[in-house]
Structure 1
């Protein structure tokens, strides 16, 4: 896996390039290319030949310039990879602009990501936990989070759901692309590979020892197109999220209160301690006073006291 690691100075310069910040040189010869041309050339090389083929020399050859002249545009490969990633993230439509409810929008967004990874497989070779922090990537992140806010989930659960969907799509795309690469390099399709191993099923495999596998093979369930597997998995992930959202206890405003102690008077969450640092029993002074009056009333009527 390629590393996007850069020192602090390089990271600062990389952020300036991503966001169009920092000073621009106003003296010397006019640049022969724009930064966008350099980045798009690098993206084209990565798309055609893989991330390992991307180097300053390779880009310079494609642009017809010297390698050293490229450092006028970008300080190094780590910063270039960030610029490449953010450039292609601009191809993904915002999730919150799609029609439908939150589930439909997440489904469309996941398919858009799946398509992006197939157009630019090299993205999956970069560490997902160290994003480029560019404007296009953040616009995509913000748009998906906006969709997820419609679930009413609390912040931590909302981010976990985002990570779950992202991890599934990335993993499924990586598996599909790896399988396609094996097919290209071997010259054999999956069907041809299995056909060459028919002897295994005929002479080695013992159905009585593996009856479930045997029954699934007989039903034709062991072989299916990769994209159909992706669709099934995506549907299962979204079904699970929908069930999780549906099972959340709700505040009166419709948002989730699963991870907070409910107020015994009104049911709203008790989300913070009292000014003295002691745990609150009620969510507000108003609820505490209502509970006090209710206890007094119960006592006057001879009913057992309640907390």
Structure 2
């Protein structure tokens, strides 16, 4: 297969991952009427351990490194698990309370928060272009959230909190030694998130009895779709540079709008535009600058998407 063909195939697989993540989110929204966000997060993480283990086993870097399971910065890996636990809690809560497309779109602002955390935690030097992107994206987030509008609800801040935490999980992953495969970091974080989300569910009301076989199948489908989406992302990242895939991640916004309208009759056009356009522009500005500097444009794509 030619290089261009390989890139095209990787892009197609990454778009499939976006659709699968959206379907997972749609099921979460559907189940939110009967089950709490901590419960759904726990189920998602339990099913997420399996694809994370598969991704690790299929990692050539892990095999070349002697299949080691020890990580020197275990505290950072465990911290990621805690961060992911609360990010999922906020995102899943938002899916049950506001329009699907609105909640999903706001989480795509993670790139601008990643830039801020890269400065604060990694001590990266950020120039005018990326700070301008942060400003543009922040304005876009405020517009989508709807501060000052009669339709504003505090629940709209939940996906903002999720975006901040997903970005933080992405940046903290870069504190781990470079020779540690990302799949191993993700496996440990997911396993720790199982514990964290399970404890949250226990202390915030416990686990509800699964009401029917239909609900059980929906829960299995939710976990299966999320896990398959993670594997699709892993496959696509191995086929080409992440900077080739990053711009296409924003196709998730129109996908979310279409699916929200199709399955729930939601069409929050006034809430999304033009704020969503500014969020996309800011993300593309960050990606372009990262690529121009010769860095991997992984800002809030590789880890944060898998953490959903």
Q: Which has the higher contact order (CA 8 A, sep 6+)?
A: 2
Give the TM-score normalised by structure 1: 0.26
What TM-score results when the alignment is normalised by the length of structure 2?
0.26
Higher helix share: 2
